[in-house]
Every structure is written in C-alpha cells, then in structure tokens.
Amino acid sequence: MRNKIRGLRTARNLAQGQLADAMGVSRQTINSIENERYIPSLPLALALARYFGTTVEEIFDDQRA
Amino acid sequence: MTSERSRTITQSKWFLPASSLVLGAAILVAGLIGRQPVVGVSGLIIMTAFGLFVLLAGSRSETVRGLRGDGRDERFAMIDLRATALSGLTVIIALIVAWLVAIARGQSGSPYDWLCAIGGLAYLIALGLLRWRG
C-alpha cells in the first residue's frame, strides 16, 4: 500500500526516530512503513493521521497504480 | 494478575534472561536427579550464556530487543506471531514424519503419536476459543 509518510515527515524535518518516539513504535517500524514493507494497524494509521493533521485516506492509498 | 501487569513483566528486558536462568537451573536439577551431571551442568551453562547474550546484545539489535520483549511494537508482535506459527508448523511436520518413519520401521510410533494428537487438539481448541472470542 502506497503512503506519504516519508514526505510528511521530511517536510517537518523529523527523523524517523523522532516520529517513532511520538508514535510509540520502533524506528525500524517507521522505516518499514515508509518503504511499504509493513502496513500499520488501524490505531497506528489513525495516530499518524492525527499527528500530521490529516486523514488516513490522505496518507494511505490502496489503489494500485 | 491483570493482563496489563503480565504484559509489563514479559516486556521487561529481564524477563527472558531470568527465564533462561530458571530453565537452566531446572535442567541442572533434572540432570542431577537423573544422574547425568554433565547434561545438567551443560544445560545450565548454555542457558546462562543465552540469557547473558540477550541481556547484553539488546542495545545493538532490534531482533534481540523484540525477542526479549522490551522492544516489541505492533510490527514486531506480528513478526513474532508469524515466527511462532512457522516454528509450530515445523515441529508438527517433524513429528508427523518421525511418526511415519517409526511406523514404517515396525515400531509403535510412540511418543510421536500422542505428541501429534496434543498438537492437533491444542490447535482445534485454540481455533474454537479464538473464533468464539471474535
């Protein structure tokens, strides 16, 4: 599933570790999400959306390109 | 004990090393009772070394922290679940193969037969309970 986490994070000058700390997950988990190797749970997706002040649909795209 | 408290205990970095030490002590006692002191002492040394390894290597490795429990987030919990399922499947397949080999050799098939039965029964009970819980 495609996502915009990396773009949103870098736009705020956040390191993966800082975002990971804010979300209560490991840095490797943020890295895996950004590289689309791991699809986060609904609670984590909602937390990410709230953190970036947007919606889950804005961040995650399940449409295959 | 609440699930929150048990989670706190199992997610402590001391839980796995302490468990290894307890298991090592149990192997030592079993070895001494069975008059196999070399097996007992070897078991204690191996389990103590493993406990020390996971305690010390945790600062360098996410895998070790996840194994220990203190670095376990939702992604690692999923990895752990899949690894547990895979290892369980491996054991079941090994038991079935060992049982077939024992039967083919004209042996009774014990203890592989009842170990297979326990595995199958545990799976069915877990499946039913988890489905019931939704």
The predicted structure's pLDDT at residue B49:
96
> Chain B residues contacting A, CB < 8 Å?
62, 71, 73-76, 78
Domain residue limits, chain B: 1-72, 73-134
Note the ipTM here.
Answer: 0.86
Per residue of chain A (65 residues), give pLDDT as tens.
899 999 999 999 999 999 999 999 999 999 999 999 999 999 999 999 999 999 999 999 987 55
Instruction: Assign 3-class secondary structure to chain B.
Output: CCHHHHHHHHCCCCHHHHHHHHHHHHHHHHHHHCCCHHHHHHHHHHHHHHHHHHHHHCCCCHHHHHHHCCCCCHHHHHHHHHHHHHHHHHHHHHHHHHHHHHHHCCCCCCCHHHHHHHHHHHHHHHHHHHHHHC
Give the pLDDT band of residue B7 (cuts 50, 70, 90): low
**Phi, psi for B74 (deg, rounded to 5):** -65, -35
Q: What's the rounded Cα separation, in Å, for the pair A5 and A35?
A: 9
Q: What is the C-alpha separation between A56 and A42, in angstroms, rounded? A: 9
Looking at CA atoms only, how far is residue B30 from chain A in angstroms? Answer: 40
Residue type, B25: A
Say if CB B27 and CB B43 are below 8 A apart: yes
- Whether pTM > 0.80 for this model: the answer is no
8 Å CB contact between B118 and B99: no
Q: Which residue of B has its CA nearest to A28?
A: B62
Amino acid making up residue B80:
D
A48–chain B nearest CA distance, Å:
14
pLDDT confidence band for B61 (50 / 70 / 90): confident
What pLDDT digit, counting tens, does each position of B25-55 carry? 999 999 999 999 999 999 999 999 999 999 8
Asked if B74's CB is within 8 angstroms of A44's CB, the reply is: yes
List of chain A residues whose C-beta atoms are within 8 Å of the C-beta of residue B75? 25-26, 28-29, 32, 38, 40
Specify the higher pLDDT residue, B29 or B66.
B29
